[in-house]
């Protein structure tokens, strides 16, 4: 199984799009997307220096554009799973078929501008907490009024909040932990971004999404999202919610991902996956940064990808598990029954309680793919819905 990853803010490098402009049609595509995003993506990806591309309002649409640009040169129909980190979720949602590329670019432009504006409202920041006991780290953050904005795994939590709170954390770090202040504009993925969330929600309400054509993981909880409208709601909510990349990687492990391809500017997410998934079950990883890397990327897809036309995937209206647990079919639903959109057909019993499983299309429940009390992983097919009734 192959996962394609779309990186988030902080992964950008000066001039990283320059070699891509040698490919036919690339510059024209970037100029079209620049008009949608309200920024000059050609300049930002080629001539802009490191300070300019640190600007949140500029960086976010640049990163989404880079991922989508590279993916146009790949056989994405053989890709089973997509996921993105922070703003990279917009790219992942587009690659999964939830959003048109134009909508993802437009939302990235709005998201970047509004988050930059929210940063200017009061002095806030972020710091990486490296090492330490995870529970002790979270306790220390709470004691200083800080939020765990990113939980990336591999002993890395990113704290966010007031500058005063970050100063106190640096002065009193948790045991065996090191604090590294990050050069960012403010406290992303915390309640300090509430104004940006409201502004993004107002624009996102005008989008008509479609259900994902492949497994799409959410930063909110690592779950596989099967409804397009729900994913858009999660993309908006993520502005003020922690990025649980650790849970996304855990889901990839549960699903048995064997190959990982990170889109440009690649390296950060590949490194996190490599540190988390070790040993015999470690996936093969390819980082795609320039067109010279395309042959290796295509080869990885060919060897680890899975053509959806031969497998029960969401393209064939398969209902999948939203989280890990044990599956319990609804007692009043059986093979051959008509089901409607939104109807509960069962639940996944998790440690935190039951999570409802609903049909995302109307039709006939033609086959159960999991049975009572079967252990299931996020994204695992549970039932197949046939032709419309």
Give catalytic residue positions.
86, 189
List beta partners, residue 265.
Answer: none
List beta partners, residue 329.
Answer: 346
3-state secondary structure of 289: coil
CB 15 within 8 A of CB 62: no
From start to end of 235-378, where are the E strands? 259-262, 284-287, 318-320, 325-329, 338-339, 344-350, 353-358, 363-368, 375-376
Supply the DSSP symbol for 224: B
From start to end of the chain, where are the E strands? 2-6, 81-84, 124-131, 147-153, 156-162, 177-182, 215-216, 259-262, 284-287, 318-320, 325-329, 338-339, 344-350, 353-358, 363-368, 375-376, 381-385
3-state secondary structure of 139: helix
List beta partners, residue 375.
Answer: 326
To the nearest 10 degrees (0 to 180), the angle between helices 101-119 and 194-204 is 160
Contacts of 21 (CB under 8 A, 6+ apart): 27, 30, 42, 45, 46
Q: Measured between alpha carbons, how far is residue 386 from residues 157, 223, 224, 317 in Å?
A: 44, 24, 21, 8
Task: Say which residue the tokens 């991922």 belong to.
Answer: 67
For residues 27-64, one letter each, b for 16 or more C-beta atoms within 10 angstroms of the residue's C-beta and e for the rest, the string is bebbeebbebbebbbbbbbbebeeeebbbbbbbbbbbb
């Amino acid at each position: 199984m192959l996962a394609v990853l779309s990186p988030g803010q902080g992964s950008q490098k000066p001039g990283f799009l320059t070699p891509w402009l040698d490919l036919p049609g690339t510059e024209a595509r970037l100029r079209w997307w620049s008009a949608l995003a309200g920024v000059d993506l050609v300049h930002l990806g080629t001539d802009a220096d490191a300070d300019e591309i640190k600007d949140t309002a500029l960086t976010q649409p640049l990163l989404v554009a880079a991922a989508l640009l590279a993916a146009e040169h790949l056989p994405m129909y053989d890709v089973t799973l997509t996921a993105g980190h922070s703003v990279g979720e917009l790219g992942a949602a587009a690659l999964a078929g939830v959003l048109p590329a134009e909508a993802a670019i437009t939302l990235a432009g709005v998201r970047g501008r509004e988050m930059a504006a929210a940063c200017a409202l009061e002095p806030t920041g972020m710091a990486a907490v490296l090492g330490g006991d995870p529970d002790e780290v979270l306790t220390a953050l709470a004691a200083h009024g800080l939020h765990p904005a990113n939980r990336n795994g591999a002993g890395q939590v990113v704290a966010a909040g007031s500058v005063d709170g970050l100063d106190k954390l640096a002065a009193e770090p948790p045991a065996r932990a090191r604090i590294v202040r990050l050069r960012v504009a403010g406290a992303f993925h915390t309640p300090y971004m509430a104004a940006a969330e409201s502004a993004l929600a107002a624009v996102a309400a005008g989008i008509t999404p479609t259900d994902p054509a492949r497994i799409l993981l959410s930063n909110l909880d690592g779950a596989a999202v099967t409804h397009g409208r729900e994913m858009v709601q999660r993309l908006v909510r993520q502005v003020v919610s922690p990025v649980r990349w650790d849970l996304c990687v855990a889901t990839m492990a549960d699903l048995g991902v064997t190959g990982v391809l990170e889109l440009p500017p690649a390296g950060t997410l590949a490194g996190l996956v490599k540190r988390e998934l070790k040993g015999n079950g470690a996936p093969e990883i390819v980082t795609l940064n320039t067109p010279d890397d395309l042959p290796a990327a295509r080869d990885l897809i060919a060897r680890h990808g899975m053509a959806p036309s031969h497998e029960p995937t969401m393209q064939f209206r398969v209902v999948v598990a939203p989280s890990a647990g044990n599956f319990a079919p609804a007692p009043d639903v059986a093979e051959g029954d008509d089901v409607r959109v939104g109807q509960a057909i069962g639940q996944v019993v998790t440690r935190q309680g039951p999570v409802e499983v609903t049909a995302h299309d109307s039709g006939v429940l033609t086959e159960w793919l999991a049975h009572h009390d079967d252990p299931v992983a996020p994204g695992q097919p549970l039932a197949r819905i046939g032709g419309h009734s």
